[in-house]
Structure 1
């Protein structure tokens, strides 16, 4: 765990694994699932920080690659939460907490894999999520099975303490033949690409949001970046674009526009910002009818890039790039340089920046630093400027006056 995830394993987690895996060993040993089926435990979904408790892979009777996504819980009781979608209450670490319903959790992991993995999509891989609560007794009017969770229970069935045979039947239905880990390897090494359904939903939501309409220099910068992304898709060299703009020049709106357009053109893209507030605002705006787990994968902070493979993303759009730091992680002890790591993980890195807006002494983002890191990597840099101000009635004069008052 220390080598794979950069952390040690708590004693409580070790006990949970032991208890849950004993249950799964019993289920699989009394099944017809062949020994050549694949097994993955604590599997880290590519492109995310999420881990699947267990995957069983194989093939269906008609030789279709198949994977059972299993969420394992030691819960013994839950409370339904009526006013929040897909949420339950249960005791975690001795205290009652709200958390995702196990069926929602298992389904969201399967959806995250399907929505961003080209090999899974093109290979018509069957992903079947479920949840196993091996300490949970069946009760009358069970809150775990409340009708408010019907949508998720249909997508990812629940198996409780005395449902061993039902869980075995579920696995056997989709794992008829072994695959020698082939399906798990497809998931793990698959090319990163948004699914067609994700593209369609993003495109339809953009059309319905007037605030995403681009004005003046926004449109010019947008088309320039989009052209660079298309060249990257056709095999162009890794490149960096710096977009300079003061407060209210529409950097965030532009970045979100580009995210949606690039995703809709079957390229992989991510919106990155140090500050969670703009990420959360736009995630909420874009969710609409789309599953939240898919939208969440498009909006990230910069702390994970030291873990990403070189060139895994087609385009990374970094908002508030002046807030980037040298080190990542809660304690600032991970990685080397966030600017460098974003460039390495991306074929096209776009940095939206205002050199006058650095907030803390730890912020290293600047036009000069971005150019310096690009030069070290041998990557060509293009600088663009947004010169129209939108939040103060389009007054560039107002910004000039404000800069003068603040002596910046």
Structure 2
């Protein structure tokens, strides 16, 4: 739960540091009395300003929710003021984004750079809080029905507007307003218009805060359904923070590419983020926006399942619309700058094998950069799962700079899959030994936090399957099982005149088929491309090539004998892999690829995961850390 205080209580506790200690525990950061940077430093500098202002304005009785985490998102609102509307007497909420910037400059549409801030641009503060409001309304249905209850403001309490001030070149609305220290009078007038200053409303303000804290959030909208809406109903994702920065950066680069400026260089945008950080949401939203602008834009991936699913779910029966979804290897003979934008989704799957064109040998990255005025690469280096995939940030930047391009790098630090749990991604990385930190018990990692992601393990495949069925029935949602490529995969056979899948995945007496192979139509079974999205997919076991790029509510991940624990260390064993391309890789490369494979399988679930290994020693290890 977020930390909740009246403004009077907040002012009092800030004098004794108690509130800072409580906030540090709430968000999971280490409290240090001498810390002057990061979140602790921000609380010490910004919260006293907010508390003093509210108390001086006669709003000391208003409830202040601090570090409120938005539903289905890792993002937190600095403060939400909860009170009563002076006219309607109904609950009223003001989302507040506190900025310590003393100055900032506009650098693009809705983008700013703060003095002494980061190298990459930030979202305009009013746009940031506007999108937080929209996210709240999207996932708290009770508020969505009465949007007038919610208001958003950004407060740059160290800034004073001057003759060079450019941030007001922005279209403000009730969800997104910006105030500086010299506009505090206007800010107070705004607050008084939506928060009753009568101290007698203190009880109602507390009830309003409780209503927000206890409001059940609606499930996150499925990527594919929203993608379809983006083209049919023109309804986009709500992109937050760095996601929106990436989106705006591409649109600005497109506009710049059409300008007549001298010595203009092609911009290559590289967006790096972990599983569920919003890369595909950016891709689909951009594609919809560019389509509405009648730009020449295409979407490309290296995944047949992902591409065909987008063609089916987004384009539907519209064959021409389906043509916007291509593969990386389809641009070899296209002229330079034939497209306005090429969106390279899952760019970690770009192949390293050279291609021949007009007597020249070029890498696939070179081809993708060449064909578009603005190439966009969306990648996660931990999802490279096959030899020959070279879509690392270093590779892309090196080739782009070698071609004389300007590279814009953007990092996505959020986690929107897995219930918005950044801690779960950390847990997976640590358990698989993909980082420098040792494995950690899940319950200990999330102790004291608001993290609600479900992590469990099973003693058998029967238990894992039962767990998935129980979770899907009890808490609703989709469930899928996926496994390492440790069993042969046969074509379906004909039985009584109909094709049927063979039970290739056999663990003791438990037997299940792989999902259907590409090119086969098996009655009652979805195609390989639609295994993750069609309801009938639960009866089969998916593999890395049908699971990667997709999401479902409840994930079952089965470790095979290609990656086991021996004496507390992971050991990759190529002799147990049936993936013909991966098991030919050199030992060090095979080890990394197989670990990345299981990371992908474990991070498909939006609400929870259950993990099982066919190897007893490995399963004991998993069960120890999945508690």
TM-score, normalized by length of structure 2? 0.30
Structure with the higher fraction of residues in helix conformation:
1
TM-score, normalized by length of structure 1? 0.46
Which structure's relative contact order is higher, taking Cα pairs within 8 Å and 6+ residues apart?
1
